[in-house]
Amino acid sequence: MSIGELKPARQSLPSKSTAQMQERHQGPAITQAKLANGLDIVIIEDHRSPIVTHMIWYKCGSADDPPGKSGVAHFLEHLMFKGTRNHPQGKFSRLIAGLGGQENAFTSNDYTAYFQRVAKEHLGVCMEYESDRMKNLVLTDEVVGPERDVVLEERRMRTDSDPAEQLSEAVQAALFTQHPYGRPIIGYAHEIETLNLADAFAYYSRFYSPGNAILVVAGDVQPKEVIDVAERFYGSIPAQGGLPSRFRPREPAPRARRLVTLADEKVEQPLHQAVFLVPSYCTAEPGGAEALEVLAYLLGGGHTSLLFRTLVMERRIAVSAGAHYQGTAVDDSRFYVYAVPSPGVPLETLDCGIAEAVAKIASQGVDGADLQRAKTRLVAETIYARDNQAALARWYGASLAAGLTVDDLFNWPARIESVTADAVRKAAFWLDGRRGVTGFLLPAEPGSARKDAPSADALTN
């Protein structure tokens, strides 16, 4: 029961265009199917261990929370463990634990996912329960109340106790003026407090149906058997008709540079973060997202990146710096840049340094050796990923839930390989200061702490 933010697609199957072509036939076999009620099935074979990962992904997340009810997707995720008529609260969890299985769930902007990991012979048990709670959840006020308190404690832990997290929340809200990605996944405290059984059930009835879900099974399984068992359990759920509509107003082209500052007496280490509005794998022109992926690596992926070399190693104005592209998203998404200043260095200096690094790539492009290193590193991730069944299942689920296809993932290494230096140079234009929000986390100014100021706690109660 956590809040998931997946890294962008950094992994894929080996592709014929890569140097590892000879390994292609050894990649995991992928089987796809679709039940009559609309449930999509993806099966990833991994016969190394007699284990299976069973996941159900719903194509709905926090960005589908109705206005004024932020947090309901995540709240429902918690409530999904409260039982059904056939499986009263705790029954399934006890059953799964008795089988040595592990289970949990997570919520993100665009999806909500539930999973179990068990010995392969218990796959049917997971399907029986997961298909049951797709439609037969039983909620009472007696379980909803305490669970709302749990979510409020979760928010206190993640956000209300951490000024850096509060700044991130404000930066996201500033970046998205229209689109619901600007709202926190967990929700605002004052809205979580009002969520009730009816809100959760309305969201559940609207979004939880076979036609809006993807079943991902990874492990030591035979695809035909998986489809048969899925047919037996999930196939009996009636189709709900058309897909639920999503209210996702598009973000206007940003034109104003924005700076969000949070100063707090609990902050001892200042931090710089910047977030830019950029296309996602689902909204970009062909090749555009892949160019952003390569750009993220060359700008801020580890010790050989431009930001690390210039800000940290050469100028020594930062102790660390990096970048990250969140490409797996239904709508226009985010490109993150961050830096931790060396003692005494103003955050404005880092801001200039970051802008200069971006401008350098935008004007001079990148050199061939750097580009090749980026491609090698990114494509190698696809082979490393084959070692991790659960990670593969997560990557396929998240990508498909966002609207990508199995072919998109299969061809990802080839598309990364075909990114040109010029495409990376052009991708840097997305990081124009006017498209982004900069966040400064700062210590409170001496003498500015007001004893009579209401505490965070007082504000939320």
Closest of 186, 117, 126, 134 to residue 391, by C-alpha: 117
Work out whether strand 436-443 and strand 258-264 pair parallel, antiparallel, or are unpaired.
parallel
CA distance 324 to 299: 9
Q: Closer CB to other proteins, residue 105 or residue 282?
A: 105
Q: Element (H or E) spanning 58, and its range? A: strand 51-58
Query: Catalytic one among 77, 147, 191, 290?
Result: 77
Closest of 392, 416, 377 to residue 27, by C-alpha: 392
Which contacts (CB < 8 Å, 24+ apart) does range 170-174 have?
170/260, 170/262, 170/439, 171/260, 171/273, 171/275, 171/437, 171/438, 171/439, 172/275, 174/258, 174/260, 174/437
CA distance 208 to 217: 19
Tell which phi-psi region holds residue 344, choosing left (phi > 0), alpha (psi between -120 and 50) or beta: left
CA distance 324 to 132: 38
Number of Cβ within 10 Å of residue 15's Cβ equals 20
Q: Least distance in Å: CB of 319 to other proteins?
A: 4
Two tokens at 417?
């390989």
CA distance 134 to 240: 12
Contact present, 168 and 439 (Cβ < 8 Å): yes
Q: Closer CB to other proteins, residue 329 or residue 393?
A: 393
CA distance 426 to 406: 28
CA distance 368 to 449: 52
> Would you give the end-to-end CA distance of the chain in angstroms?
24
Interhelix angle 123-135/223-233, nearest 10 degrees: 30
Q: Closer CB to other proteins, residue 94 or residue 224?
A: 94
Q: Which residue has the tokens 């985010």?
A: 334
Q: Least distance in Å: CB of 143 to other proteins?
A: 8
CA distance 176 to 179: 5
Contact present, 63 and 85 (Cβ < 8 Å): no
Q: Closer CB to other proteins, residue 27 or residue 288?
A: 27
* 246: phi then psi, degrees, rounded to nearest 5: -115, 135
- Examine the residue annotation and report whether 45 is marked as an active-site residue of this protein: no
Q: Closer CB to other proteins, residue 152 or residue 401?
A: 152
Q: Closer CB to other proteins, residue 104 or residue 448?
A: 104
Q: Closer CB to other proteins, residue 135 or residue 309?
A: 309
Q: Closer CB to other proteins, residue 271 or residue 294?
A: 271
Question: What does each C-alpha distance from 219 to 46, 119, 130, 302, 348 come to in angstroms?
Answer: 4, 9, 18, 32, 50
Q: Least distance in Å: CB of 455 to other proteins?
A: 6
Q: For residue 219, list its beta bridge partners.
A: 45, 52
Taken as a whole, the chain contains a residue count of 461
CA distance 53 to 51: 7
Q: Closer CB to other proteins, residue 103 or residue 332?
A: 103
Residues with Cβ within 8 Å of residue 444, at least 6 apart in sequence? 263, 264, 265, 267
- Point out the residues that are catalytic: 77
